[in-house]
Amino acid sequence: MSVQMKTGGTKDRGQTLMMEPMIDCVFLLLIFFMVSAIMRVPPPFTVTLPESATKHDFPRKKFNLFISADGRISFDDLEMLTLDHMEMYLSAKETQITTLIIKADRLAKHGRVIDVMERAKRRFSKAEGQEIALMVAEESFGQ
């Protein structure tokens, strides 16, 4: 024997929860955060930075140039074959670079670092508005 209850007619039929708009919003948020995330790509070689007791903050628009202990050069994961290739890449990206941060290995030859800095300065046509900085290990700050 079953018991059936009568409800008030058409009042309950229009109160369903619509899940499609909520799912659409979740996927739109997911896509937004994936697109706006900054991905850091490591260089194709390891770089051990030297230590320093000073600190300087830089603006958000920066390019990282890595110099390995054996003298190889790369912009993030894009390795440069020669200094001439580096100059061509810098001249192509000049309008996007406000700060060029050189992350040289502590065992890199001083002459190689100076060559990179001089060629980078030569490629920047504007005297003001573009900086070249050397990156050091951050662990030593505040000690």
Residue ranges of the chain with per-residue pLDDT less than 70: 1-14, 55-62, 125-130, 138-143
How many Å separate Cα 131 from the centre of its chain? Answer: 18
What is the enclosing helix (H) or strand (E) of 88? helix 83-92
The whole-number pLDDT of residue 28 equals 92
Q: Which of 95, 1, 77, 87 is nearest to 41 (CA)?
A: 77
Structural domains in the chain, CATH included, are 62-134 (3.30.420)
Could you tell me the sign of the dihedral formed by the alpha carbons of 42, 79, 89, 123, in that order? positive
- Write out the H or E segment, with its range, that includes residue 75: strand 73-75
Cβ distance 78 to 108 under 8 Å? no
Question: What tokens were used for 98?
Answer: 């406000």
Residue 9 pLDDT: 54
Contact 102, 44 (CB under 8 A): no
Q: How high is the pLDDT of residue 26? A: 92
Q: What are phi and psi of 51, to 5 degrees?
A: -95, 155
